[in-house]
Chains A and B, each alone.
Chain A
Amino acid sequence: MKHLLSINDLSREDAILILDTAAELSRIADGPMKKLPTLRGRTIVNLFAEDSTRTRISFEAAAKRLSADVINFSAKGSSLSKGESLKDTALTLQAMGADAVVIRHPASGAPTRLAENQWMSGAVINAGDGTHEHPSQALLDAFTIRKHLAKGATDLAGLRVAIVGDILHSRVARSNVLLLTKLGAHVTLIAPPTLLPFGVESWPVSISYDLDSVISNVDVLMMLRIQQERMQERFFPNAREYSRYFGLNRDRMNSMLPNSIVMHPGPMNRGLEITADAADSARSVIVEQVSNGVSVRMAILYLLLAGLPIEGGIN
Chain B
Amino acid sequence: MSYLLKNGILPNGAKTDLAIQDQLLVSPDALDKNHRIIELDGKQILPGLVDLHTHLREPGFEEAETVATGSLSAVRGGYTAISAMANTSPVADTAGVVEQVFRLGQLTGLCDVFPIGAVTQGLNGEALSEIGAMADSSARVRVFSDDGKCVFDPLIMRRALEYVKKFDGVIAQHAQEPGLTIGAQMNEGEISAQLGLKGWPAVAEEAIIARDVLLAEHTKSRLHICHLTTAGGVEIIRGAKSRGVQVTAEVTPHHLLLTDDYAKNYDPIFKVNPPLRLESDVLALRAGLADGTIDIVATDHAPHSLESKDCEWAEASFGMVGLETALSIVIKTMVETGVMDYLAVADRLSIAPARIGRYETHGQSLEVGKVANLTIVDTAAKWIVDRDLMSTRSKNTPFHGFELPGVVTHTFFNGKLVFGG
Contact = CB atoms under 8 A, between A and B. Distances in A.
A and B associate in one complex: yes
Interface of A: 85-87, 105-110, 112-113, 116-117, 129-133, 171, 174, 197-200, 202
Contacts of A200: 193
B196 A108 contact: yes
A130 B193 contact: no
Give the residue among B195, B197, B313 with the most A Cβ atoms within 10 A.
Answer: B195
The prevalent SS among residues of A at the interface is: mixed
A70 B315 CA distance: 28
A73 B199 CA distance: 31
B195 to A, nearest CB: 6
Given A87-B311, A112-B266, A132 B189 contact: no
B195 A87 contact: no
Contact of A199 (B193, B310, B312, B313): B193
B310 A129 contact: no
B190 A171 contact: no
A198 B188 contact: yes
Contact of B196 (A113, A129, A199): A129
A198 B196 contact: no
Nearest to A178: B194
Contact of B265 (A112, A132, A174): A112
Given A171-B196, A199-B193, A107 B314 contact: yes
Contacts of A113: 266-267, 311-313
Given A109-B266, A199-B189, A174 B194 contact: yes
B312 A86 contact: yes
Nearest to A8: B194
A86 B266 CA distance: 14
B388 interface: no
A171 B197 CA distance: 11
B149 to A, nearest CB: 22
Nearest to B194: A174
B210 to A, nearest CB: 21
B312 A105 contact: yes
Contact of B311 (A85, A106, A198): A85
Given A108-B314, A113-B311, A174-B196, A198 B266 contact: no
A57 to B, nearest CB: 24
Q: Which A-B residue pairs are the 4 nearest by beta carbons? A: A109-B266, A132-B196, A197-B193, A131-B196
Contacts of B266: 108-110, 112-113, 116
B314 A130 contact: yes
A107 B313 contact: yes
Contacts of A105: 312
B346 to A, nearest CB: 40
A131 B189 CA distance: 15
Contacts of B195: 108-109, 132
Given A107-B312, A198-B190, A202-B190, A85 B307 contact: yes
B179 to A, nearest CB: 11
Contact of A116 (B193, B267, B307, B314): B267
Give the residue among B193, B307, B310 with the most A Cβ atoms within 10 A.
Answer: B193
B193 to A, nearest CB: 4
23 contacts: A85-B310, A86-B315, A87-B310, A106-B314, A107-B312, A107-B314, A107-B315, A109-B196, A109-B312, A109-B314, A112-B265, A113-B266, A129-B196, A130-B196, A130-B197, A130-B314, A131-B197, A132-B196, A133-B196, A174-B194, A197-B193, A198-B199, A199-B189
Contact of A108 (B190, B307, B310, B313): B313
B23 interface: no
B27 interface: no
A133 to B, nearest CB: 7
Contacts of A130: 196-197, 314
Given A108-B266, A110-B312, 10 more contacts: A85-B315, A105-B312, A108-B195, A108-B196, A112-B265, A112-B266, A113-B266, A116-B266, A116-B267, A132-B197
A133 B190 CA distance: 15
Contacts of A109: 195-197, 265-266, 312-314
B192 interface: yes
Nearest to B266: A109
Nearest to A133: B196
Contacts of A116: 265-267
A101 B199 CA distance: 29
Nearest to A117: B310
Interface string B248-276: 00000000000000000111000000000
B194 A86 contact: no
B69 to A, nearest CB: 25
Contacts of B307: 85
A132 B201 CA distance: 19
A113 B197 CA distance: 14
A93 to B, nearest CB: 16
A197 B314 CA distance: 18
Contacts of B193: 197-200
A106 B196 CA distance: 11
A219 to B, nearest CB: 26
Contacts of A86: 311-312, 315
